[in-house]
Amino acid sequence: MNARAILVTGASRGIGRAIALAFAARGDRVAVHHRGSPEEAAAVLAALPGPGHVVVQADVTDPGQARRMVDEAAVRLGGLDVLVNNAGVYIGHPVAEVSYEQWQAAWQQTLAVNLIGPANVTWCAVQHMIPRGGGRIVNVSSRGAFRGEPGQPAYGASKGGLNAFGQSMARALGPYGIAVTTVAPGFVDTEMAAERVNGPDGDQVRAQSPFDRIARPEEVAEAVVYLASADAEWASGTILDLNGASYLRP
């Protein structure tokens, strides 16, 4: 199986780390993106099996940094075959409990990281994929896009927007041989979810699924690897729920 060039945003921890490891395990070359955690990114790089992996840095909310980062990844990997838009933030801002200034700040930051950032990174990645005759883009969304996030409304809205963006790109990029898919996990055992899962309502969180647990990052990673494979082209436009039947949409 030929090695491919993979860019994973937000890969210094959690789901992104697991995705980077899963691609490297199958022999691919991976660019580990981080915003401001060079030590964690270096640790991920050191853990990746096989040669040719790199670390790239950018604040994806900055269009110039996003473009530089994607171009750097493509140069150092010798091209770009797969983009995984995983970087994201999860900011609490209940509408009845925050100031107007806090409300605006949460919306601006969340949309910038979770939606505008992936849109800009995607545009940049596509410029490298089209000359290669195709590629794969996988977006990491959330169950919250469908069931609502009352304490983090900007997060739910941003992931709903990411779903729509992915489906728009699936239609736009199919003629170029680029398939675009989305995974929508529920709670995953990562640093981002630790406070909630290990808190007083952790049992209630786990009980949302009939399996009485939350997802492992590796389970999300395996789904991403499949959707990025040559065999998954016909899944383009798909939004794959990965929530252990904790939320079933029509």
CATH assignment at residue 84: 3.40.50.720
Helix 153-173 × helix 100-111 angle, to 10°: 30
Q: Which domain holds residue 120?
A: 5-239
163 in any annotated domain: yes
Please report where in the chains the tokens 């992104």 appear, as a residue. 16
Using CA atoms, how far residue 119 sits from 18, 74, 102, 112, in Å, is 23, 17, 25, 10
250 in any annotated domain: no
What is the C-alpha separation between 82 and 124, in angstroms, rounded? 12
pLDDT at 31: 98
Q: How confident is the model at residue 197 (pLDDT cuts 50, 70, 90)?
A: confident
Q: Does residue 155 carry a catalytic annotation?
A: yes
43 in any annotated domain: yes
Cβ-defined contacts of 105-113 (< 8 Å, 24+): 106/154, 107/154, 109/61, 110/152, 110/154, 110/155, 110/157, 110/158, 111/154, 111/157, 111/158, 111/161, 112/61, 113/60, 113/61, 113/87, 113/88, 113/89, 113/158
245 in any annotated domain: no
Q: Write the DSSP symbol of residue 188.
A: B
Q: How far is CA 152 from the centre of its chain?
A: 18
**Would you say the C-alpha torsion 194, 60, 4, 230 has a positive or negative sign?**
positive
69 in any annotated domain: yes
Q: How confident is the model at residue 41 (pLDDT cuts 50, 70, 90)?
A: very high
Which amino acid type is present at position 69? M
249 in any annotated domain: no
Torsion angle of the four alpha carbons 38, 195, 94, 146, in this order, in degrees rounded to the nearest 10: 90
52 in any annotated domain: yes
247 in any annotated domain: no
pTM beyond 0.85, yes or no = yes
Which amino acid type is present at position 180? V
For 151-181, the pLDDT digits (tens) are: 999 999 999 999 999 999 999 999 999 999 9
Q: Which is the catalytic residue, given 100, 155, 176, 226?
A: 155
What is the C-alpha separation between 190 and 15, in angstroms, rounded? 7
Mean pLDDT of the region 12-25? 98
84 beta partners: 8, 138
Number of domains in the chain: 1
Do the beta carbons of residue 226 and residue 240 sit within 8 Å? no
Is pLDDT at 51 greater than 70 in this prediction? yes
